[in-house]
Structure 1
Amino acid sequence: MLERLTPALAAAGDFVRGLNGWRRLGFAFAAGLVSALGFAPFNVFPALLLGFAAVVLMIDGAEPARRIRTGAAVTWAFGFGQYALGMHWIAYAFMVDPVAHAWQIPFVFVFFAALALFQLCAGALAARFWRGRGRLFAFALSYGVFEWLRGHIFTGFPWNIPAYGWGASLGVLQSAAVFGAYGLSLLTVLFGAALADLFAPPPRWKIAAALAGVFAVFFVGGAVRLETAAQTVPGVNLRLVQPNVPQAEKYLRRYKARNWRRLIELSRAPGDPTLIVWPEAAPPFAGLDEQPLALEQIAALTVGRQGLITGAVRVDYLSADKYRYFNSLFVFGRDGKAIATYDKYHLVPFGEYLPYEETLNSLGLTKLTGIDGSFTPGDGPKAYAVPGAGTLTPLICYEILFPGEVVGATRPDWFVNITDDSWFGPWAGPQQHLLVARVRAIEEGLPVARAANTGISAIIDPFGRITHRLGLNQTGTVDGPLPAAIAPTPYSRFGDLWFVLLVCANVALTWLFSKGK
């Protein structure tokens, strides 16, 4: 069989290497589209790996004098294609209020093209050191570093980084407890790049085989880790409320009473929860802490219970005619006693604030949330004690996206992630967001209670396993015990140290393997 397969692989490799001009760019864009199938909700991880292999083959085929330019163009087109399919759901946010925002949808694809500049830089840098088998390590090194940069500069946007291509394998994802999402991403790119050598005549399989062995170890080690039984926190029974309110109806006057009543009725449904969690901006009005009737009803809900947690828009009045808005989370204890107020610190550009607001407003661009001006950021992740339920760290929607940035000075016992994924469309976006929450749980060894307005609401244990969930566009509750935290993981203790070590190792391997042919 191998004898028959080798010529076919070589012919495919010759075809990809032989592409040039617009044919090469078009193929790179198509390879990016196909590679996006590696992410949720498709979870076809070989598509992502083969996408990286295709990029390497196209750079292999470039003329040496034009290799840097080709590397830049190919990886840019690949990144653009991957973002266009993998994150197409961003366009849904502009359809919540189509009269005001639908005309801005083309700018989403301008954003994807700009985001792909990270891939462009990675390809150009790798092509500068494109020699022998060292090119594989140079490609993984540069791609991995620029993915880290994508997650950090210009406020960061680490959505669909390569590590999330392993969403189909919870066993492999357990390696994030050591390497983190960025370290696992670098190794994933290296594995995919190494597959390019299988398309050479004769095929070179040793590096690809070695990396296949590494990921086999990850899978087996993860499977063993997942044999650990989930422990729960005694006396804590969660109820995550999913009201399933369409974003377009959330703040309309004629629906406000209905929306509030739905929250109350779902919270009172049969069962014995000790702690109720509502999603992001759940109350259909701003200034929850200034609404006596609403606070009375929350007090009634928390009689004999540990409390209630909800997202809400908070208004801070600086003077009679000057105020600030915050995307906040309120923690109420027994009998509605106010315990803590947390303000979201990592705001969504163009969603919750508008960079260069005056200039962009003059061009007719506005942010998506319908308040005057921008939200004001809080001051970072914090931990709050809830009597009988340990300490929790709130993460509002987008904040759970950032590896290594979800724990403040004090390690909590659990995360509460409240979100309104109705902005993310009816399919891919919410599933990708859920996977991100699962990886944060694995990295930190902490459970996540995730309450989403339209779904997916879930209780996630510290191994990333979903113990209870309610699917998209369903109205109801998720009731279940709070999983217990495990001992701090290597990633929670050392952060991206393993990523730095992998970067250093790839620098050395680039030099070592570039000496050969």
Structure 2
Amino acid sequence: NLILVLIFSLLLSFFEFIRGSILTGFPWNLFVYSFSENLSFIQMLSVFGTYGLNLLCINFFLLPSILFLYKTRSEVIFSSFLFIIFLSFFLIGNSRLKDASIVSSFDQGGLIKTISSKVEINRFYNFDNEEDIINQLIGLSNPDKDVPTIFIWPEGVITSTYLNDISKYKDLFEVFSDKHLIIIGINDLVLDEQNKIYNSLALFDNQLNLKSLYYKNKLVPFGEFLPLESLLSKIGLRSVAYNYQSFSRGIDRDIIKIKNNGFNLNILPLICYEIIYSGKLSKTNNFNLIINISEDGWFGKSIGPSQHFTHSIFRAIEEGKSVIRSSNNGISAIIGPKGKVIKIHESTEGGVLITKKLEKLNKLTIFSSYGRNNIFFYLVVIYISLIFFLKRTGR
């Protein structure tokens, strides 16, 4: 009976891993997200990661079936042991939250202003008001020419202008100074044989000179691209994005380094739902800040924006890095490396989050130190070994 419980937990968690990995993957609302409101418990993400803790959670959720359906001595011992493990997770997590010695603040060199906007989703179909939208974002940014500042604007706020044409708005950006940098979500049209379009995160100076560029790697199926497009387009299926043309996928996710005007930041850029992919954000640890820009208007008035935001908290704990999230029609926030929400703004109206200092862990998390999702497979090996042990001993 214990063997069946372990096998079921193992198989279900493995299918959850497959769901988040095969093809484009969609690891949305795994069982472990049931604990998203308990910051103490989810501190264990720093050890096991989302998939590893998901396996243990499934086992925990099966605990009542063991207690009420099977009552042999070994089953009671196993259930008690599992209960003690989970109780220890809460206690260890609570202790970690209170331990100020594992976290330190660092001055990033200036202000970071995170813009939380409320631009209606119909801008994707009405391009006449783009200049008004830019003026609205500049108003929220409220730049001070004497203060070094990085401004973070949400994903896709500029919809009808491509990256190579953004300079036409140069006069609007005269309110910024050479002490300023602006991160903007904008589409880039690469003129070649295929005329590829990329959903991008671009870093500009005050003259709208491009300083750094990131192309989104993980595209939304049927939203940003059509899987098996050459086949499915023949039967009338289209991507709902950008005049029915699929976006192209970026290949690399390079760290954006900002080392001027006193800033010393290594930024891991993420666009929209790229934040949901546990263990797949980066192959390195040479970044000290995660920036996630997003458009959450597609969720409408559902619980989607809150669920999307929760993933940012999980990634912060796993990676042990601060996360800055700039969302249009969603939740913008500054999240510390232990998942604590330092500042938050819901896009019921436009707003701005300002920070001078960020937090960092004094050492890497176990999850990020030992191969990230490798931790899940270590647990799988342990479970398989335990299953064979119980089978051999007849328990």
SS of the counterpart of 2:239?
coil
Q: Distance in 2 between matches of 1:161 and 1:202?
A: 30
Check conservation: 2:20, 2:27, Cα contact below 8 A.
Answer: yes
Greater shift, 468-477 or 448-457, is seen at 468-477
What's the counterpart of residue 227 of structure 1? 98
What's the counterpart of residue 137 of structure 2? 263
Is 2:32 the counterpart of 1:163?
yes
Q: Distance in 2 between matches of 1:483 and 1:395?
A: 18
What's the counterpart of residue 38 of structure 1? none
Q: Distance in 2 between matches of 1:313 and 1:275?
A: 20
Alignment-mate amino acid for residue 345 of structure 2 = L
Check conservation: 2:127, 2:160, Cα contact below 8 A.
Answer: no
Deviations 1:193-234 (A, max 9, x none): 222122227585433332221122111111111124464331
TM-score by length of 1: 0.70
Write out aligned runs for 1:43-442 (5 A).
132-200=1-69, 202=71, 205-229=76-100, 231-234=104-107, 235-268=109-142, 274-298=149-173, 300-318=174-192, 322-333=194-205, 336-387=208-259, 388-409=263-284, 411-442=286-317
Structure 1 unaligned blocks of 5 or more = 1-131
Check conservation: 1:455, 1:471, Cα contact below 8 A.
Answer: yes
Alignment-mate amino acid for residue 424 of structure 1 = F
State the Cα distance separating 1:385 from its structure 2 match.
0.8
Q: Distance in 2 between matches of 1:482 and 1:372?
A: 43
What's the counterpart of residue 364 of structure 2? 488
Q: Distance in 2 between matches of 1:273 and 1:426?
A: 37
Check conservation: 2:178, 2:205, Cα contact below 8 A.
Answer: no
Task: Name the one with the larger strand percent.
Answer: 2
What's the counterpart of residue 446 of structure 1? 321
Q: Distance in 2 between matches of 1:448 and 1:488?
A: 15
Change (3 A) 1:333 1:511: same
Alignment-mate amino acid for residue 321 of structure 2 = L
Greater shift, 235-244 or 133-142, is seen at 235-244
TM-score by length of 2: 0.90
Greater shift, 183-192 or 141-150, is seen at 141-150
Higher RCO structure, 1 or 2 (CA under 8 Å, sep 6+):
2
State the Cα distance separating 1:150 from its structure 2 match.
1.3
Q: Distance in 2 between matches of 1:198 and 1:404?
A: 34
What fraction of aligned residue pairs are identical, expressed as a percent? Answer: 30
State the Cα distance separating 1:395 from its structure 2 match.
0.4
Alignment-mate amino acid for residue 155 of structure 2 = E
Change (3 A) 1:284 1:268: farther
What's the counterpart of residue 511 of structure 1? 388
Aligned length: 383
Q: Distance in 2 between matches of 1:296 and 1:166?
A: 48
SS of the counterpart of 1:153?
coil
Change (3 A) 1:304 1:252: same
SS of the counterpart of 1:240?
strand
What's the counterpart of residue 497 of structure 1? 374
Alignment-mate amino acid for residue 508 of structure 1 = S
Alignment-mate amino acid for residue 305 of structure 2 = P
SS of the counterpart of 2:40?
helix
SS of the counterpart of 1:170?
coil
State the Cα distance separating 1:351 from its structure 2 match.
0.8
Alignment-mate amino acid for residue 214 of structure 2 = Y
Q: Distance in 2 between matches of 1:338 and 1:228?
A: 41
Change (3 A) 1:474 1:159: same
Alignment-mate amino acid for residue 383 of structure 1 = I
Write out aligned runs for 1:452-463 (5 A).
452-463=327-338
Change (3 A) 1:482 1:425: farther
Deviations 1:300-351 (A, max 9, x none): 35415341111101111116xx511000010124654421011011111111
Check conservation: 1:325, 1:376, Cα contact below 8 A.
Answer: yes
SS of the counterpart of 1:371?
helix
Check conservation: 2:116, 2:352, Cα contact below 8 A.
Answer: yes
Once superposed, what is the RMSD of the aligned Cα atoms?
2.2
State the Cα distance separating 1:142 from its structure 2 match.
1.0
Deviations 1:141-174 (A, max 9, x none): 1111121111111121111112212102111111
Check conservation: 2:291, 2:323, Cα contact below 8 A.
Answer: yes
Structure 2 unaligned blocks of 5 or more = none
Q: Distance in 1 between matches of 2:270 and 2:197?
A: 18
Q: Distance in 2 between matches of 1:311 and 1:201?
A: 55
